Amino acid sequence: MNTLGSDLARMKQLLDRKSIDLERDRRNSPFLKMFSDTGPGRRELYPKQIDFFGAGLLYKERLFMAANRVGKTVAGAFETTCHLTGRYPIWWEGRRLLCGDATDPQAVSRLLDDQKPFLMVVDPPYGIELDSEWRDRANLNKRGPAEPS
């Protein structure tokens, strides 16, 4: 009976109108169709854009200079969307960023795509009280007193 109850709950969730609409929107998202394996926007048609994405791993700043109507804006918007959402395609070779919680295993897994990093740098969460005067108390601050937090 317990299995039947969980199956019923799962069916209600699947048939929920909002869930159906969200899934349809996700599947029809142009973001998922850009630079795909097949179709009119397939990657092989945009080698310069793919090189531009990959260069993000090596260079802090890049310039994409090309003729009009060749996909510069689309490429920039695609890369920005990847960085803001933390969702990267499997083929992505450029820099990966996560605007999320580094303590959330799912978010980190989505970012790293099952790769093991050499180094992972994270910022402390905002909105917490930091003690910026600890160096003064430990006599480690050689540049003058710290500003109070």
| pLDDT tens readout for residues 99-135 | 777 778 887 887 777 777 777 777 666 666 667 677 7
Angle between the 17-27 and 2-15 helix axes, to the nearest 10 degrees? 60
- What is the predicted pLDDT for the residue at 44? 93
Give the angle subtended at the CA of 62 by the CAs of 102 and 96, to the nearest 5°.
Answer: 20
pLDDT of residue 13: 72
The pTM score is 0.58
Residue 70 covered by a domain: yes
Residue 141, classed as helix, strand or coil, is: coil
* 86 within some domain: yes
Q: What's the domain count of the chain?
A: 1
Number of Cα atoms under 13 Å in the Cβ half of residue 115: 11
Answer yes or no: is 108 within a domain. Answer: no
Q: Of 131, 37, 41, which is closest to residue 78 (Cα–Cα)?
A: 41
At residue 52 the predicted structure's pLDDT band, cuts being 50, 70 and 90, is very high
Instruction: Note whether residue 90 is domain-resident.
Output: yes
Q: What's at 10, amino acid-wise?
A: R
Q: Are 96 and 89 in contact (CB under 8 A)?
A: no
Inside any domain, residue 46: yes
Q: Which domain holds residue 53?
A: 34-101
- Is residue 62 included in any domain, yes or no? yes
